[in-house]
Structure 1
Amino acid sequence: MDQRKITERVFWLGAVDWDRRLFDALIPLPDGTSYNAYLVRGSEKTALLDTVDPPMAPKLLAQLDGAQDLDFIVSHHAEQDHSGTIPLVLERFPKAKVVCTPKAKGMLEDLLYLPENVFVTVDDGDTLSLGDRTLKFLHTPWVHWPETMVTYLPEEGILFSCDFFGSHIASSDLFVVDQGQVREAFKRYFAEIMMPFRAVIAKNLEKVKALDLRMIAPSHGQILDDPSWIIEAYRSWISNPPRNLVVLPFVSMHDSTRRMVDHFISALALQGVAVEPFNLTVADIGKLAMALVDAATLVVATPTVLAGPHPLAAYAAFVANALRPKAKLLSVIGSYGWGGKTVEMLSSMFFNLKVEVLDPVLCKGLPTYKDFEALDRLASTIASKHRENGFS
């Protein structure tokens, strides 16, 4: 795409990646993504805010064809999908300076071999004049790396928010048109990338809420010309109490664990508890992450493989622990043939979670009537604790 006009002095540059389906060799991208850069033209100076992932560099460089000069390249975040094309932009505009946080300077030197003399570092709250336009820099550490910052353009009321308020979605629409259509993409992005840093993001959320915001322009996804709804969504995802919901990732090899899962889902439903099961052999890990944003309880269901949990169950446990959801209860159900340490191994993987661990339910071979009774008791315990804590 060519440059696209946002306001008289602000332009979208970048690339829409329609075909990408995996990010960081980890995160599913069912809707593709975009790499957004922005050009701000002041009466005296011009700044490029962020670049693009290196494979998309030709698109950005083509958009910069004909540009007479570029004075500043603002690096909000050192990760390559934002800053990886900075060396190529500097080749085109050798007099430009790279503006970043002091911590980002060292990271960019390491990641991109940039020389020290190209940098201008800015502290939290510093401003940079472009003439009749001003860039104000706000440090937002751990959104989602330690060096990140955002840029506010007060004359236009635009927040260039980097990964903050981003979404992985490819679209020809420059702005969000249908909030309902894209809300899942925003929540998926929060769940997969931002959720581990909820506490510090809450502080950064208060920082940006204090601004006169007319528009949020993130580095991935569409621009928000109504910032209020995404700010409220972030507030709820960060601060609202968990819902009356059990997230149930499971895997079954010979139907024993699957029979337990089916019975457990029914038992929870009879107790008035919502359940989201995820068959780990086919599940979208991003959907699992989204469910964890709201869940009060996590129950992992697994057969025993070589004395431990099935590798897919161990992977789900690793992901849940890394994402640090606000769940309050944890348990394990499953089956075994002759023994093992499935519960001990899984429990040790949840060291980041502040949860109450409920008694597990394990059966030898196919589940019996007594095993189903134990699942009923576990469902009843979960329902009681949800009610006691006001989870609704």
Structure 2
Amino acid sequence: MDDRRFHPESLMMSYGYKPELSEGAVKCPIFQTSTFVFKSAEEGKAFFQVAYGQREKRPNEELGLIYSRLNNPDLQILEERLCLWDEADECAVFESGMSAISTVMLEFLRPGDVLLYSKPVYGGTDHFINKVLPEYGIVGLGFTSDQEAEEILAMVDTLNLREKVKMVYVETPANPTNALFDLEACKFVADTLTTAEKDVVVVVDNTYMGPLWQHPLKHGADLVVYSATKYIGGHSDLIAGAVLGGSKYMKRVRTLRTFLGNMAGPWTGWLLMRSLETLKVRMNKQAENAVKVANFLESHPKVEKVYYLGFIPEGTRQYEIYQKQLSCAGAMLSFDIVGGEAEAFKFLNSLKLMKLAVSLGSTESLAEHPATMTHSDVSPKDREEIHISEKLVRLSIGVEHFDDIIWDISQALDQI
């Protein structure tokens, strides 16, 4: 066999797994165990030394299994496969997207620090930044997609916060408006604020694009976070999160995960491995459907505006970012309905095929009302600034036949 380098989608069925270690099973079994047997006391000592950072792993040394809070075959193989998509050094999988996000923030921020973050972000992230972190003396300072790097830096200087910024946290495309943020500009901000005494870490929530359509590590991000519940899981049957990046920062993330104990279990790991096998097929179908749905909405008289990445006007800054960072317009879109909350609710209550539910990226199409659901805890001032109005409806497009999705949207709009 030659040394062909296979594509990630070809490796999702086998990478990191040795059938001979599991009775020849073609798929990795579920290792439903809390602890693992050592061959000797000396082996147990060696495993713990590496696990607790008392020494580095020796060349060609095989890391052994200790306890499922530290490592488990289902988790380990899953993490190795996830690294292939983003070309990351390491990956850590968590019990939820919020546990991944909160662990990263708690590891790299301390009382008195400032977190620069893009607006809008997912409602749970917004709550953690603006309601939880202030309890620990950590302040969030938001910026929008309209602000250039120089404007962000000027805002930091005006508030005399240059020495306190420790992280730039970016969600792009933004949930639920699809606003794009220039990751290279965010990296420039972080590098400008970095000193000999402190690193400023760039963290990117890539959930909207999944591991397929955008790779933030290639554009300056230090860490990428996912709600793996979404496209990675893709079937609305699990909750999980993931963090990926270079070993320099991932070692710290993994260490805190070990002692917070918020890693995913073997059953979740096994389900995610199953989902990775169809990730590219699913996501491509969802994106194809989204183009057709967006085109239908764009010409409908009861729709004021469609927030879809495929409709960004050429020659704009948003278009330049799209061309530079993304390989696809994705499968998420939002639209302003003619009217307000009453009309939006009437539309949502009239859907027959699409499900009225939060979350996204699954095989079934979903619809929700951000202002009163996922982003209801965002301050009214911020909601107004970032266009999360009462007339905004968010759609996650699934793998159903596009004719059926469009029929459902059409008949629901007819009820208004």
Q: Same fold (TM over 0.5)?
A: no
More helix by share: 2
Q: TM-score by structure 1 length?
A: 0.25
Q: TM-score by structure 2 length?
A: 0.24
More strand by share: 1
